[in-house]
Amino acid sequence: MRVDSSIREYIGVPITFSFGLGRCRAVAAAGGKFYIPERGFDPIEIRRMLEAGEINAISAVPTLFRTILQDPSVLAGLGARVKWIEIGSQYMSRAEKEEMKELFPNAVILQHYGLTEASRTTFLLISDTEGAALESVGRPFGGAEVQISDEGRIKIRGPHVAMARVEDGTLIPLVGKDGWFTTGDNGHFEGENLFFDGRADDIINSGGIKVDPAHLEQDVQGRLGVDSGIAIAGIPDAVRGEGFFVGVQEGRGLDLEVVKSAVHDALKDRGIVPGKSVRVQGVGEIPSTGTGKIQRKALAALCRMEAAPERRSHAEGAGVISLYEHMFDRKDIAPTANFRDLGGDSLNYVQMTIALEKELGALPSNWDNLPVFELEKLEGGIKRRLSEMESNILLRALAITAIVATHSRWDPAFVYGGTQLLFFLIGYNLARFKSSAFFRGNIWGPLFSYTRVLLIPYFLFSALYMLKEHRFYPDLLFLYTNFIGPHYTLIFPYWFVQVLVQCLLLMGAFFLIPAVRKFATNRPWPFSLAVATSLVVVWLVSPAVWNTSYLDYNVPQRYLAILWLGWCCYFADTPPRRFIALILGVALILIDYVLTDLFRYPVWILLGTITVLYLPTVRVPGLLRDGVQAVGAATFQIFVLNGIIAYVLLYHLSFPKPLAFAFSFLGSIAASWAIERGWETYHLWRRRTV
């Protein structure tokens, strides 16, 4: 995982498990720090700690990560701050791993496979893997060996394998004379990669707790005073990995609700509060062999064939009682009951935290101990309080608002300069979210992912423009129009994309040099300051070689200096460093004013510098925060769309400039929202298809 001493890990699994203890040891060996959550894995807590810069790594099993994948908005764009992730050995599909890569674009994401008896046998570096190999669990490393037995079972040998287990005070050997441990898992190899094909036995793994369905059946039947007519099999469950399907033979006079209650009680005795992961249905016949052995796979198939039972639904805003009824699948929630009284556990704690925050706007720290009627009193009240947000997001929203005003030909002097601020913020966010990838030599992928939202429409609009003009413009196609002068005008502001791509290509080429990466990795602040200062000097002396005033100063040497000032500000993490970065920013805006004679542009750069250095967060009303975050998150999409809308409104519909600004701004936001929903629908379809 290439962990270093900067790691600050949120360990989301119990440290009494092999996985959790292993993470503690790994982080400590690297000289880092780890955080053990008091109440277990909590996405809201993870978000708070990421916002505060307290953690940059997460370890958890797939069951827990699925609670985030089901509602990625809980991290609100903070996934890019995560540098390291290890995923435990439960099954995780290729589609889910691809979603993990999208949600955590800068993280080294590693999955391991191995039972408690042979922990961490194989590893899959998800972040560096593409295609069908993502469905695998990787390959063995070090002294670990893996084979597939003639029966298709996974066999493991190596120094990490436990030699025996303790049973009733006796050591029971786990390995044969040849040192091989035969697991209860089926698997196969494709090349070097091991693929997990499911458990060879019928054990149900519910959130990491393994349950023998035969023993559970006996327990349930004993509670009900019957000796047959009930069979249990594992079925997929979105939260726990596996849930419980209880088939009740029809004609035996067993009430399904009574059976369900007995199953819940039996599972609670095993440390499981199953929530909605238990499905009880009547079946015509329990599938079994001629000797009476239950065929559990066939039983589970009956569950998929039966119509799913109707569940209580909950619409956002319907109230706390409705949410509790939905979460616990009950309609008799007492107002005096609290989350713990109702049998809440670590898994539905995560779900309820996310859902309640959406319902209330924020949560008191002890919400799980508050009765329902106390939470109902908070409805609407918390939403009116001030909420904290990053000033960086507010600046992005201001920058794009100014850019839309400029493209709408609205002339208030204060709006000019939003593009310069946007370049500064691009540099700041590149350092924040992409620097770790650059330092590792992973350069072009992150840069393309950063610019594709601009490049794709740029080439599309350029092609349409050339078709309209019946003329081929190579400078448009190869992104160098800004070097030869704006002799024609596109609806789409092409120069911004061209200069940004030129700057990023130069930056990428710079990081291809191993010595540069080594210097940047070992001493990020001196490296950032040295590069930013050098680029400011280059911008100062460049007019002596090349006067770019006829190009409106839209050249990479200017914008590289602005971009690297933002990069430098990110690494200014102490008061003296922040002061030095501020002095550098003042020097840059004075030089820019002397060279361009346009003071209104660099003032925006000064605003950005002071804000990110000395006011990293601001408190705003919750409703305003939501709107600003939506605009900030859609900055590039708005940039792409607003110019076209403004052009149509101004030159085809003759709208007044202020109205053109308002409608192009709101219209580009609406179009951005529609495009985003379209992508979400596509990804959901792809996940279901895969």
**What one-character-per-residue DSSP string does 554-570 give?**
-SHHHHHHHHHHHHHHH
Total-model pTM: 0.52
Among 320, 233, 240, 227, which Cα is nearest to 273's? 240
Average pLDDT, the chain: 82
* Cβ contact 45:68 at 8 Å: no
Confidence tier at 385 by pLDDT (50, 70, 90): low
Tokens representing 640 are 């792409």
CATH entry 3.40.50.12780 includes domain 8-199: yes
Long-range Cβ contact pairs of 333-339 (< 8 A, separation 24 or more): 333/372, 334/372, 335/371, 335/372, 335/373, 335/376, 336/371, 336/372, 336/373, 337/371, 337/372, 338/368, 338/369, 338/370, 338/371, 338/372, 339/367, 339/368, 339/369
* Cβ contact 415:406 at 8 Å: yes
Chain segment 20-29, per-residue pLDDT in tens = 999 999 999 9
Q: How far is the C-alpha of 87 from the C-alpha of 539, rounded, in Å? A: 46
* Cβ contact 476:466 at 8 Å: yes
Question: Which percentage of the chain shows pLDDT scores above 90?
Answer: 30
Q: How far is the C-alpha of 79 from the C-alpha of 355, rounded, in Å? A: 19
Residue 413, pLDDT > 60, answer no
Residue 313, pLDDT > 70, answer no
Structural domain boundaries in the chain: 8-199, 204-305, 320-384, 390-673
Residue 563, pLDDT > 60, answer yes
41, amino acid identity: F
Tell me the C-alpha to C-alpha distance, in Å, between residue 47 and each of 40, 70, 580: 14, 15, 31
Residue 277, pLDDT > 60, answer yes
Q: In what order do the strands lie in the sheet with 108-113?
A: 33-35, 8-11, 57-60, 84-87, 108-113, 122-125, 139-140
pLDDT of residue 307: 42
Q: Which CATH superfamily is domain 204-305 in?
A: ANL, C-terminal domain (3.30.300.30)
Among 245, 251, 250, 248, which Cα is nearest to 221's? 248
Q: Which of 153-167, 489-503, 569-583, 665-679 has the lowest mean pLDDT?
A: 665-679
pLDDT of residue 4: 92
Q: Name the architecture of domain 320-384.
A: Orthogonal Bundle (1.10)
Q: What is the phi/psi pair of residue 211, to 5°? A: -125, 130
Beta strand pairing status for 8-11 and 33-35? parallel
Confidence tier at 561 by pLDDT (50, 70, 90): very high
Question: Which percentage of the chain shows pLDDT scores above 70?
Answer: 85
Tell me the C-alpha to C-alpha distance, in Å, between residue 139 and each of 196, 441, 554: 11, 23, 50
Q: How far is the C-alpha of 601 from the C-alpha of 586, rounded, in Å? A: 13
DSSP string covering 492-550: S-HHHHHHHHHHHHHHHHHHTSHHHHHHHHH-HHHHHHHHHHHHHHHHHHGGGT---GG
Q: Which residue did the predictor score with more confidence, 461 or 329?
A: 461
pLDDT of residue 311: 46
* Cβ contact 51:79 at 8 Å: no
Beta strand pairing status for 241-249 and 230-237? antiparallel
pLDDT of residue 490: 64
Residue 582, pLDDT > 80, answer yes
User: Residue 281 burial by CB count (10 A; 0-12/13-18/19+): exposed, middle or buried?
Assistant: middle
Tokens representing 423 are 């370049």
Q: Is 115 left (phi over 0), alpha (psi -120 to 50) or beta?
A: beta
CA angle 253, 257, 260 (to 5 degrees): 105
Tokens representing 146 are 């893996």
Chain segment 109-133, per-residue pLDDT in tens = 999 998 889 989 999 999 999 988 9
Which residue is it, tokens 């440290």? 15
* Cβ contact 272:244 at 8 Å: no
* Cβ contact 87:109 at 8 Å: yes
Which residue is it, tokens 């908070």? 378
177 beta partners: none
